[in-house]
Structures are given as C-alpha cells and as structure tokens.
Amino acid sequence: MISEEIEIRTGSEQTVHDLTGECERFLSQVDGDGLLHVWVPHATAGVAIIETGAGSDHDLLKALEHVLPRDTNWRHRHGSPGHGRDHVLPALVPPYATIPVLGGVLALGTWQSVCLVDTNVDNPVRKVRLSFLAG
Amino acid sequence: MISEEIEIRTGSEQTVHDLTGECERFLSQVDGDGLLHVWVPHATAGVAIIETGAGSDHDLLKALEHVLPRDTNWRHRHGSPGHGRDHVLPALVPPYATIPVLGGVLALGTWQSVCLVDTNVDNPVRKVRLSFLAG
Amino acid sequence: MISEEIEIRTGSEQTVHDLTGECERFLSQVDGDGLLHVWVPHATAGVAIIETGAGSDHDLLKALEHVLPRDTNWRHRHGSPGHGRDHVLPALVPPYATIPVLGGVLALGTWQSVCLVDTNVDNPVRKVRLSFLAG
C-alpha cells in the first residue's frame, strides 16, 4: 500500500477544503486500478465528496449548524464555546472516504470533489492520510 | 480489480433504489474473499445500507426532508426549486459503501440491502460503479 | 483477507460501544500495511469514529434523538415504540468503516476511537465483522 500523510492549513474558521488536487498529485505515481483511501486522523473533522464552487460547501456548513448547533448544550466542554458539536461531526461526516481509481485516475463524476470538512475553529492545521490499495 | 459501471433508472421522483440484486449479479463472477465497493459518480446521490420493504426507505426520505428541507434557502440555485439540498446529501449519505465478500457472497445481515438514495428529481438515470477488491 | 466475526453485548439501552480494543486484538496477527474494515451486519446500528470518554458519545446519541426522534411517526412499525428511527440510522451512521493500518497498527489519531453505535433497545447482542485487506 502506498501511503502518505500531508498537512492542510484550514485556518481558524470552519471550512470545506477541496482535496481533489492533492489526491490527483498523490496518484500521479500510480498506473493501475484500485481504491484511493482518504483518512483524517482527527476527532473533529470529516471527509465529504460534494460539488464545490457553486455554493454547496457553504450550504453543507449551514446544514451542519442546524443539525449540530454551536451552542453550549454539549456534554463535551473543552475548547471554544460549542466545540462539542465538532466531536459529533465525524459520526455523520466520516473521517474516511474510498474512491475507485482506474488506470491511475480517480473515477470521480463531473461535479464531485473530495473535501475535508472542518468545523473546528481551534485547530488551524490538519493532517490527511492518502493511501492507494491496488486491486 | 474487477470493476463495472451500470445504469439505474431512478425516475423523476426521489427514491431509494435497492441495488442488492445488481451487486449479487456482479459478484457471480467472484469466488473468493474481499471487499465490494459501491460507488455513485454523482454529486446528488448517496449509498445507504438499510432494510427495504417495511417502510424504512420512505422513512429515510422523510428524515432527509427534515434535515435538508426542499426550500429555497440554499446558496446553490441550479435545477428545480430546493435542488440545493441534493448537493448536501452526499456529505451525510456518502456516495460509496464497502461490504465484505466471503466466498463470493455478500456478508450482508438478514435485513440489510444496498440502496441508491436519490433525492434529485432532475436526473432520471444514474450510474453506479461496482468494484471487487480481492483480499 | 483475514476476517473474523465477534459478538458485542450492547444491552437494552442505546449505547456507543468502543471497539478499538477489539480492533487492536484482531490486528495483533498482522505485521504489514493495509486497511481494516469494520462491518456491522445489522440494519439498526452503525460504526462511528469519534472520541470517547469526554461526553461525545452521549452528545452523539442526543444529536441523533433530535435528527431521528423516537416518536411514532415512522412508517416502519415493528419493535418498541419509535424503533423506526433505528432503521434510518445506518443511512447517516454507516454500518462500515475503513481505517489505514501501518505496520500492523491502526493509524488512528490521538482522540479517535472506533465505536459501534446502537440505538436499538430490542437487540442486546450484536455481531461485528473485522477484516484486514493487505495492501
């Protein structure tokens, strides 16, 4: 398994960060078929495969504000006020994704991007592990 | 990796379409153990593993209407009114699933089915890629 | 593929059950790199990778009570009152997870645990299938 950990600067505001370019760069060493595994080794971030650039990244963060409000009713009380929501996020937006790779190329649909979803404002730098499992 | 793309007619109403039969047909060429990877190359559909036939497919669509209402408050404004919700769906119901295969047979529990979840009413035909990664 | 099914007693109250120790025990027979696949062959449970021990397991169950209320408005009407919600759960908290394994060790972040999420109060014993796909 080829595997590499990269760092992504997500800053101090919640964000949806497009990882597609990083995934393509990682796969430039691959010729064959298999699965790309995207993994975030953090308890307050997830991976989503959505369209970017037409408002849906903002819409996702807004929907999450509704489902997981940034209030103080969370039992987890470390970090900034409302940070407890960030710890529930990975149950709904998992910290992994798997994507087919065909001839070294991601089999993404036209409007799909691989995105890091980070609602945690306390952690400005994130690690992402990319792995290729040949099939 | 054995990999095949099929087409599914989901029509012009939101639907939960059972893919289990298609997965079994695809695996008829497999004898050994490994993982089945189910992949939807669309930005407005997901894959869910749920029971079908006892109302839960309807319950899922209703729960999603609550979490992601079909209103006009989405920033993404292409397509039918409320279509922005469909673009958030894959963050919560991912466009992939992985299922163990043992001796060529899906290791599904008694009540589990592999389902395509398509809330998008503007796209009546969907592609699904099935891949088998031998282990 | 090395694969093993274990049993977990989740009892008659909804629970988040930490499986990390079981995953590590399973991987004690592995030296190399690959993916751990965690699979729950049930239609009313999921797998989440979250922090445990600081309240987030409770917060997850509470968030799910909000998103999927235990009321009688579900079309699925078997089991205890409100059980229909448990059948929608796996669409949002999938019954699988994949985690990188490096040198036989799970590549979990400091605060990540692999958890079985079981909101179903009618099924006190659950099966979990652990599989290792060498890469």
User: Looking at CA atoms only, how far is residue C25 from chain A in angstroms?
Assistant: 20
With contact defined as 3+ CB pairs under 8 Å, the chains touching B are A, C
User: pLDDT over 90 for what percent of chain C?
Assistant: 94
Contacts of A65 (CB under 8 A, 6+ apart): none
How confident is the prediction for chain B on average, in pLDDT? 96
Range with the lowest mean pLDDT among A79-83, A99-103, B97-101? A79-83
Share of residues in chain A with pLDDT > 70 (%): 100
- Residue A52's pLDDT is 96
Which are the contacts of A13, defined by CB distance < 8 A and separation ≥ 6? A121
CA atoms in the 13 A half-sphere facing the CB of B100: 27
Summarize pLDDT for B51-93 with one digit per residue, the tens.
999 999 999 999 999 999 999 899 998 888 899 999 999 999 9
Distance (Å, whole) CA A43 – CA A90: 7
Rg of chain B on CA atoms, in Å: 15
DSSP state, residue A110: T
Rounded to 5 degrees, φ, ψ at C132 are -120, 125
C18 touches chain A (CB under 8 A): no
* Rounded distance between C-alpha atoms, residue B100 and residue B92, angstroms: 22
> For chain C, what is the mean pLDDT?
96
**Reported confidence tier of residue C79, pLDDT bands at 50, 70, 90:** confident
Mean pLDDT of C30-45: 98
Instruction: Give the Cβ contact number of residue A6 at 10 Å.
Output: 14
> Which pTM does this prediction carry?
0.98
Domains of chain B from N-terminus onward: 2-134 (2.60.120.460)
Q: Which residue among A56, A109, A135 sits closest to B131, beta carbon to beta carbon?
A: A135
Decide if B92 touches A, using CB distance below 8 A.
yes
Is A51's CB within 8 Å of B88's CB? no
Q: Which amino acid is at A32?
A: G
Q: Does the CB of A133 have a partner CB in chain B at under 8 Å?
A: yes
Q: What token pair was written down for C115?
A: 């958890």
pLDDT tens digits, one per residue of A17-56 = 999 999 999 999 999 999 999 999 999 999 999 999 999 9
Tell how far CA A104 is from the center of its chain: 21
In this prediction, the answer to ipTM > 0.95 reads yes
Q: Please tell me the predicted confidence (pLDDT) of residue C72.
A: 86
pLDDT for the residue numbered C130:
98
C contact test, residue of A66, A87, A128 with most C CBs within 10 A: A87
Residues B5-25 pLDDT 10s: 999 999 999 999 999 999 999
pLDDT higher than threshold 90 for residue B50: yes
CA distance B8 to B24: 15
Distance, in Å, from the CA atom of A10 to the CA atom of A57, rounded to the nearest integer, reads 14
Instruction: Identify the pLDDT of residue C78.
Output: 87
